[in-house]
């Protein structure tokens, strides 16, 4: 089976990263012999007995596609990794772990009833690193505090999560295929004058999904709501007056996420908004094609700002000298106030966006682009989003109505476009050895 072969290759690759990490860091930082990764502990709302929807720790899911609390993976160089599958006897909840041979065959599997029983199976060394949120559990087992989430190791592992294996790319492709079907259904629901809630449910229904299956809270905004970047509600009001839909929604395949945004305008809407919509789509595709190994991702972000300014000038929302207006991107930031994308993988905003190297040297975003979540040089194997936007956000625009900068803005046109909210087009891109591949289209 092709999937089993891909997964075996993936585990070989991850094993190599872990072996290299222990070897290198044991010399340079401190001796570490083994790594125990804990998937996490199920939380309960304060003062309640209701569980918070659980999401396993990404580094656990890098090995095992099981989204369950208290599962553990033990890594020791030169040994088959051990999966401690904790299945408590419980008549309140179904604790069964669905195990499939394509991934399970890669592990030594030890079934336990309680997480604490793992102590009987740990190697005979004190230098075991614990990776996971519940460091109290680690301390209770006697694992040394100085090796809880050992920083050098976490940096190293985060850095390499950025480059995906063939298995991971296929899962990301599948998460995209599912989400594209959802987006088609959502578009139809919009065209049929559905409410935000109808559109959201149409997206979920296309894949028979529950909300807890989503990689993030769907953003489903009609009209002005499209200008709220992470708009979180879903109104019940019918969309019979609606003109624009912005939907940012994704799916998950074996814990790998897609993150896709589409914007639609109904026929008969403002012609300038229609032009901008086409323009952002063309810009997104152009940016996706620019990506090359070695290119700083920040260059794409700068190019997105140039592209947004060009669209604003072409539509005469902005008037004046292009070079002056381009300075510091003050104009384009009013209409495009977020980063152009981020790494994508086991988390929607995947780890490792700010590293210069695998030793934890940081590459934080520059002050002028502090919302940029990816500031690395692009490397083959990376999967990331490209998501330029152009919005009419009153909170950002209003302070400029009387300002010097505001003199270059066409306020009557802006006022006519504010009810249309905004535009974002977001695809998921894999930088393959043969160049960028769009996993969404």
Where do contacts with Mn ion occur on this chain (CB under 5 A)? 248, 259, 261, 385, 426
At residue 210, what are phi and psi to the nearest 5 degrees? -95, 160
387 counts as binding ligand GLY under rule CB under 6 A: yes
Q: Check: CB of residue 190 under 8 Å from CB of residue 199.
A: yes
216 counts as binding ligand GLY under rule CB under 6 A: yes
CB of 248 to ligand GLY, least distance (A): 5
DSSP 222-290: EGGGGGSTT------S--TT--EEEEEE--EETTEE--EEEEEE-TTS-HHHHHHHHHHHHHHHHHHHH
CB of 261 to ligand GLY, least distance (A): 6
- The residues that bridge with 424 in the sheet, in sequence order, are 389
Structure tokens belonging to residue 388? 């330029």
Structure tokens belonging to residue 394? 């009153």
284 counts as binding ligand GLY under rule CB under 6 A: no
Residue 232 CA: distances (Å) to CA of 189, 222, 226, 228? 19, 12, 11, 9
Reading phi first (left if > 0) and then psi (alpha if -120 to 50, else beta), residue 139 is in alpha
CB of 155 to ligand GLY, least distance (A): 23
CB of 253 to Mn ion, least distance (A): 17
Report what 216 binds from ligand GLY, Mn ion, none; CB cut-off 5-8 Å by kind. ligand GLY
Nearer to ligand GLY, 161 or 338 (CB): 338
* String marking each residue 342-371 x if it binds ligand GLY according to CB under 6 A: ------x-----------------------
Nearer to ligand GLY, 188 or 232 (CB): 232
Q: Which residue has the tokens 């590293």?
A: 355
Query: What distance in Å separates the CA atoms of residue 372 and residue 374, rounded to the nearest whole number?
Result: 6
Query: What distance in Å separates the CA atoms of residue 117 and residue 384, rounded to the nearest whole number?
Result: 39
Picking from 286, 313, 253, 309, the residue whose alpha carbon sits closest to that of residue 386 is 286
Query: Which member of 196, 223, 248, 350 binds ligand GLY (CB under 6 A)?
Result: 248
427 counts as binding ligand GLY under rule CB under 6 A: no
259 counts as binding ligand GLY under rule CB under 6 A: yes
Position of minimal CB gap to Mn ion: 248
Report what 109 binds from Mn ion, ligand GLY, none; CB cut-off 5-8 Å by kind. none
Q: Check: CB of residue 69 under 8 Å from CB of residue 54.
A: yes
223 counts as binding ligand GLY under rule CB under 6 A: no
Nearer to Mn ion, 131 or 172 (CB): 172
- Residues binding ligand GLY (CB under 6 A): 216, 248, 259, 348, 387, 426
């Amino acid at each position: 089976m092709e999937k089993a072969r891909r997964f075996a290759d993936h585990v070989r690759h991850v094993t190599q990263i872990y072996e290299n990490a222990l070897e290198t860091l044991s010399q340079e930082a401190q001796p570490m012999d083994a790594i125990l990764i804990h998937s996490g502990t199920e939380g309960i709302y304060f003062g309640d007995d209701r569980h918070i929807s659980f999401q396993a720790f990404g580094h656990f899911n890098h090995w095992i596609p099981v989204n369950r609390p208290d599962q553990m993976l033990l890594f020791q160089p030169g040994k088959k990794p051990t999966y401690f599958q904790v299945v408590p006897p419980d008549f309140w909840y179904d604790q069964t772990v669905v195990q499939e041979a394509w991934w399970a065959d890669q592990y030594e599997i030890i079934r336990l009833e309680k997480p604490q029983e793992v102590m009987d199976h740990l190697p005979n060394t004190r230098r075991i690193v614990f990776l996971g949120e519940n460091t109290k559990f680690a301390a209770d087992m006697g694992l040394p505090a100085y090796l809880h989430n050992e920083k050098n190791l976490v940096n190293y592992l985060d850095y390499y999560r950025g480059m995906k294996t063939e298995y991971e790319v296929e899962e990301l492709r599948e998460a995209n295929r599912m989400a594209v079907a959802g987006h088609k259904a959502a578009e139809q629901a919009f065209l049929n004058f559905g409410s935000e809630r109808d559109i959201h449910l149409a997206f979920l229904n296309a894949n028979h999904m529950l909300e807890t299956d989503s990689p993030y809270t769907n953003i489903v905004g009609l009209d002005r709501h499209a200008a709220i970047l992470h708009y979180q509600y879903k109104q019940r009001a019918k969309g019979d007056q609606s003109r624009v839909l912005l939907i940012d929604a994704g799916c998950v395949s074996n814990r790998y996420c897609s993150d896709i945004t589409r914007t639609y305008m109904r026929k008969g809407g403002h012609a300038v908004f229609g032009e901008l919509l086409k323009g952002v789509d063309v810009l997104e595709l152009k940016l996706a094609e620019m990506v090359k190994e070695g290119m700083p991702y920040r260059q794409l972000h700068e190019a997105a700002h140039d592209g947004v300014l060009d669209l604003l000038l072409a539509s005469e929302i902005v008037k004046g000298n292009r070079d002056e207006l381009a300075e510091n991107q003050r104009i384009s930031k009013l209409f495009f106030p977020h980063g152009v994308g981020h790494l994508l993988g086991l988390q929607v905003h995947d780890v490792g966006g700010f590293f210069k190297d695998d030793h934890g040297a940081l590459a934080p975003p520059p002050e002028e682009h502090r919302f940029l979540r990816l500031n690395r040089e692009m490397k083959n194997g990376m999967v990331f989003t490209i998501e330029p936007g152009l919005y009419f956000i009153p909170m950002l625009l209003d302070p400029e109505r009387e300002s010097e900068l505001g003199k270059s803005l066409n306020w009557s046109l802006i006022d006519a476009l504010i009810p249309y909210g905004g535009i974002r087009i977001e695809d998921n891109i894999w930088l393959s050895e043969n160049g960028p591949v769009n996993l969404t289209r």
